[in-house]
Structure 1
Amino acid sequence: MKFGRVKPLDAILATAKAKSLEPTLGWFQLTLFGIGCVIGTGIFVLTSAGAQKAGPGLMLAFAIAGVICIFAALCYAEIAAMIPVAGSAYTYTYTTMGELLAWTVGWALILEYAVAASAVSVGWSGFFAGTILSEFLGVQLPTWLSGAPLALGGVEGGLINLPAVLIALLITWLLMIGTTESARVNAVLVAIKVTALTAFIGITLTSDAFDSGKFNPFLPAGVFGGFGSGLGAVGAAATIFFAYVGFDAVSTAAEETKNPQRNVPIGLIGSLLFCTIFYILVAAGAIGTIGGQPLMGPNGVPFPAGSEELARQCATFAANQLPLVCSDEALAHVLRQIGWSGVGNALGLAASLALPSVILILLFGQTRVAFVMSRDGLLPESWSKVHPKWKTPHVITAITGIAVAFAAAFLPVGKLADIANAGTLYAFMMVAIAVMMLRKSSADYPRKFRTPMLWLVGPLTVAGCIFLFFNLPIDAMLVLPIWGALGLIVYFGYSRSRSHLGRGVVEVVDLDHDPEHTPNV
């Protein structure tokens, strides 16, 4: 089924070659990009929110989200190797289902990446204020400078999250000066994060404080919390799905990758498998040492994560007895609780140093999607200008960075994460549909990687994404259709009439002289 104009696959590749980004990345850098983006706020910060929703069932929640992401990654791997251009799910939808649905996917990806980058900026701010300023420098940042306003779901006395704003703008500047430079910085930050989490796993799983009895009851809120509640193992999976958001950013770098047919699948699948194993081990270590039972309301249902009721309950505990579900820096808090304060502070420092790598990759992904939409004429063409010295799309990078900094200034991490998940799940679903359609419409097109058992993996990806979407909190579910409606207004009011495809401005490929379907322009 096609909606609107469909851009031929060869024309997409031709456009990319005519106005392309410089290929500088290999499989190792791509894998580090994936790990750098995936290991971040989701595990360092949202572990506490996940435990409040699912208790020890947090481990099951990580597994549920991980399996769905692995299925999605297999779909991404085939289509990204087949269509190695920037734009990710937007580009794939354009050549299979038409411009209208491609626009909705691109619009959802803009929401995903920008909001997720804001969420990680807020998560970083908590570590910066709690570890670097408070623990190491003895400085207490005023609440009005470090928290979102209570009216927007933040903290009492909060006005603006200044550290989150500053880190978002700093990473924006770094991305503007070059992709290779950004990748080098990312490699260092990934090493810091992996080292910190490896130390956490080793200490907690071998600690005298580890007690298997703390996993009982394993599912205090059940498997399903109910429609729109966001509770239970599935509700927790829908929220901590955010911990996996970003692996698809690897596919947005396909155009800047050397030998993308080989390197993009390695980067996608390798980074995701690595991170999934890490997450489950980290969750086991945290719960097995200090427990992870949620704080229950009077009706036997966990207080909503991030709610005022939960905040009041957490305020009744002494600092050295604070439950896992109450901590803003969950993993560092676990180590302090079991007598490893020095290592806990070091882990908090590592998170403060390393979380910016997640912001970097999320901003990278968002700017590349918008870059391609601009290159297609659906967004202002000035946004796809490439800087003559830096070789980066500096205009859209600056615009994105300012928007991310604004959201980070005024919204808390939990709300941002759920909103980002809504857009991500929609994009993942569309990629699975696109790869199944391409198997029929472009059956003879060269494929360097084929998704195994696509007849099963594809439908399971679609079903899994829909399943998790309807287990998000109701307000997060509503954001996607509202954002989508706004996008349709922009599309019909501006983009449709300026589309290059609609105006017949499409590069062509001479297939007689290009049997491998490589653009010849």
Structure 2
Amino acid sequence: MDWRVKPLDAILATAEKKSLKRTLGAFQLMLFGIGCIIGTGIFVLTAAGAQKAGPGLMLAFVIAGAVCVVAALCYAEIAAMIPVAGSAYTYSYASVGEFLAWTVGWALILEYAVAASAVSVGWSGYFSGTFLNEFFGVHLPPWLAAGPLALGGEAGGFINLPALVIALLVTWLLMIGTSESAKVNAILVAIKVVALTVFVGLTLTSPDFSPEKFNPFLPAGVFGGIGTGLGAVGAAATIFFAYVGFDAVSTAAEETKNPQRNVPIGLIGSLLFCTVFYVLVAAGAIGTIGGQPIMGPNGIPFPAGSEELARQCAMPAHAQALVCSKEALAHVLREIGFSWFGNAMGVAAFLALPSVILVLIFAQTRIFFVMSRDGLLPKKLSTIHPKWRTPHIMTAITGVVVAIAAAFLPVGILADYANAGTLYAFMMVAVALLVLRVKDPQRKRSFFLKGAWVIAPLTIAGCIFLYVNLPIEAILVLPGWGIIGLLVYFGYSYHRSHLGRGIVEVVDDIEGDEAMVPIKD
């Protein structure tokens, strides 16, 4: 088979034009990483994680964080070496070739687009519970507040209207060219960190806090079984979603002073900080109102996001349970007498999560843009709007898909689907690192990962380990989605690939003109 590996020299021609200044230190990188990581998962997935693992959710955060640390170090070397758009897709194209690069790009749709849907559903819970209910006394009818299978006692819902609306609104903003302001984003990060810090302080010092609520600590065990998505490892596979964003730190390697020292400090420091933070938040939530999963008749927790769990959550006996809340952290504070701060927590999530949706949809369109520019997707998709100067067609398509998924699927299932794509992409980054070490050992690496031949295999093993501990539906989604991708690739992309026709693209500017250069034999 013709693997069609894109010449790294052609890819790096882009990076050489950027003239990035090395200004970032270790502490700045760490703060940047904390800002990228904290937010979505801890606000949205606490309830789903607790239903899978109970108090073992604390251990789940440690397991997921450990896999992220080794993956982050692989990202650091390869991102510093190939600092251009496309993320894992571009890294794969330069190492293992077009076919596997296509599978990575196709899987990244599960990471970014489905993750955006999950965040939209999470935002909907805070919008309905805090913004409308607590502040205005407005209760959305259940059939408008949740999809047909949504978590939280909303069985029988028809559509999650707030999730649909926020996804379409963010898409419209991206289409007309509205982007995040660095100052606004910094404020939102500060709001998230302050809100969670106060949450930890209030819950851990609350009279309601009791060690007895952690017993049993592992009601579903450490391993719930392959394909069940249960136990501490199953929860780790789901809340892995809470760490996505750390790779943004690795992409800043080219702008870092002394990257050999500062990049690992920034990466590992931010991941360790967030892991400790997440464990404390989980401890505060569970230690105050309890976090035991709702068990089925066979002594196994009902699957998060299932109709069975939704029916249980609709019963008065479980209505106030942590695992049934769609706005878990705000709910905990209201239950222990801090309604005012519970509402403030809801407002913090209400304000901060749309910016996360924006970044995720933008990242997805960026991957599509690069794939279209490589000829693997129709050129029409990467058309730039003459007035807005944005890839409006692919942004609209992505936004509609995100909105539809958010309207009808629950957050726990969406997060599992997103993690399936993410774990595959992370695994392929580790593979690309090892391939480039063999094929191009003399290439300049501003960050050189010591022990790569141990750390990269650990990353591959860790990603596979978490993947097989996802629920069986999420495990099957990735190969099922991959089969669709193969049909598209061999039916269209293989024959229209620029690289296959002897052309390599070197421009990396979403608003720039295309510049092609022929491959030199």
* TM-score (normalised: structure 2): 0.89
| Partner of residue 476, structure 2 | 478
| Partner of residue 71, structure 1 | 70
Aligned counterparts of 2:289 and 2:151: Cα–Cα separation in 1: 31
| Partner of residue 445, structure 2 | 447
| Partner of residue 5, structure 2 | 6
| Partner of residue 228, structure 1 | 227
- Structure 2's unaligned 5+ residue stretches are 508-516
Give 1:275 shift: 2.3
| Partner of residue 110, structure 1 | 109
- Quick one: which amino acid aligns to residue 88 of structure 2? A
Query: In 2 relative to 1, CA 3–282 (structure 1 residues): closer, same or farther, beyond 3 Å?
Result: farther
Query: In 2 relative to 1, CA 394–191 (structure 1 residues): closer, same or farther, beyond 3 Å?
Result: farther
| Partner of residue 242, structure 2 | 243
| Partner of residue 493, structure 1 | 491
Give 1:120 shift: 0.5
Query: In 2 relative to 1, CA 508–152 (structure 1 residues): closer, same or farther, beyond 3 Å?
Result: closer
Identity among equivalent pairs (%): 74
- Quick one: which amino acid aligns to residue 478 of structure 1? L
| Partner of residue 512, structure 1 | none
Aligned counterparts of 1:137 and 1:291: Cα–Cα separation in 2: 29
Question: Quick check: 2:153–2:324 contact (8 Å CA) kept in 1?
Answer: no
| Partner of residue 214, structure 2 | 215
| Partner of residue 321, structure 2 | 323
- Structure 1's unaligned 5+ residue stretches are 510-518
Query: In 2 relative to 1, CA 372–270 (structure 1 residues): closer, same or farther, beyond 3 Å?
Result: farther
Give 1:32 shift: 6.8
Larger mean CA deviation between 201-210 and 124-133 belongs to 201-210
Aligned counterparts of 2:69 and 2:352: Cα–Cα separation in 1: 24
Query: In 2 relative to 1, CA 127–224 (structure 1 residues): closer, same or farther, beyond 3 Å?
Result: same
| Partner of residue 313, structure 1 | 312
Question: Quick check: 2:153–2:310 contact (8 Å CA) kept in 1?
Answer: no
Aligned counterparts of 1:41 and 1:178: Cα–Cα separation in 2: 24
Question: Quick check: 2:50–2:56 contact (8 Å CA) kept in 1?
Answer: yes
| Partner of residue 514, structure 2 | none
Give 1:213 shift: 2.4
Aligned counterparts of 2:232 and 2:151: Cα–Cα separation in 1: 26
- Cα deviation code 1:445-499 (max 9, x no counterpart): 1111122321221111100110111111111111100110100111111111111
- Cα deviation code 1:85-144 (max 9, x no counterpart): 011111111111010000000000012100010011011001100110001011111222
Question: Quick check: 2:151–2:304 contact (8 Å CA) kept in 1?
Answer: no
Larger mean CA deviation between 451-460 and 48-57 belongs to 451-460
SS state of the match for residue 316, structure 2?
A: coil
Question: Quick check: 2:203–2:288 contact (8 Å CA) kept in 1?
Answer: yes
- Cα deviation code 1:333-365 (max 9, x no counterpart): 111111111111110111111111221221122
- Quick one: which amino acid aligns to residue 211 of structure 2? S
**Residue 438 of structure 1 is aligned with which of 429, 436, 439?**
436
- Quick one: which amino acid aligns to residue 205 of structure 1? L
| Partner of residue 296, structure 1 | 295
- Cα deviation code 1:226-280 (max 9, x no counterpart): 11111111111111112122333566x769x866995987775554343222211
Aligned counterparts of 1:385 and 1:244: Cα–Cα separation in 2: 33
Give 1:179 shift: 7.7
Question: Quick check: 1:84–1:261 contact (8 Å CA) kept in 2?
Answer: no
Alignment coverage as a number of residue pairs: 505
| Partner of residue 145, structure 2 | 146
Aligned counterparts of 2:265 and 2:386: Cα–Cα separation in 1: 31
Larger mean CA deviation between 117-126 and 361-370 belongs to 361-370
Aligned counterparts of 1:153 and 1:212: Cα–Cα separation in 2: 26
Larger mean CA deviation between 351-360 and 483-492 belongs to 351-360
Give 1:508 shift: 7.9
- Quick one: which amino acid aligns to residue 246 of structure 1? G
- Quick one: which amino acid aligns to residue 419 of structure 2? N
Give 1:289 shift: 1.4
Larger mean CA deviation between 295-304 and 453-462 belongs to 295-304
| Partner of residue 514, structure 1 | none
Give 1:380 shift: 1.9
| Partner of residue 133, structure 1 | 132
Aligned counterparts of 2:400 and 2:342: Cα–Cα separation in 1: 33
Larger mean CA deviation between 292-301 and 217-226 belongs to 292-301
SS state of the match for residue 506, structure 1?
A: strand
**Residue 469 of structure 1 is aligned with which of 457, 467, 470?**
467
Q: Does 1:94 align with 2:89?
A: no
1:265-304 matches, cutoff 5 A: 269=268, 271-304=270-303
Query: In 2 relative to 1, CA 101–3 (structure 1 residues): closer, same or farther, beyond 3 Å?
Result: farther
Query: After TM superposition, where is structure 1 displaced by more than 6 Å over at least 4 residues in a row?
Result: 22-26, 28-33, 151-154, 263-267
Query: In 2 relative to 1, CA 37–259 (structure 1 residues): closer, same or farther, beyond 3 Å?
Result: closer
Aligned counterparts of 1:339 and 1:185: Cα–Cα separation in 2: 31
Aligned counterparts of 2:384 and 2:456: Cα–Cα separation in 1: 36
Aligned counterparts of 1:7 and 1:280: Cα–Cα separation in 2: 42
Aligned counterparts of 1:376 and 1:127: Cα–Cα separation in 2: 40
| Partner of residue 512, structure 2 | none
Give 1:159 shift: 2.0
- Cα deviation code 1:11-62 (max 9, x no counterpart): 12236779x9x98998599877754553333211211111111111100001
* TM-score (normalised: structure 1): 0.89
Query: What is the aligned-residue RMSD (CA, Å)?
Result: 3.1
Question: Quick check: 1:129–1:141 contact (8 Å CA) kept in 2?
Answer: yes
Aligned counterparts of 1:260 and 1:84: Cα–Cα separation in 2: 15
| Partner of residue 371, structure 2 | 373
| Partner of residue 513, structure 2 | none
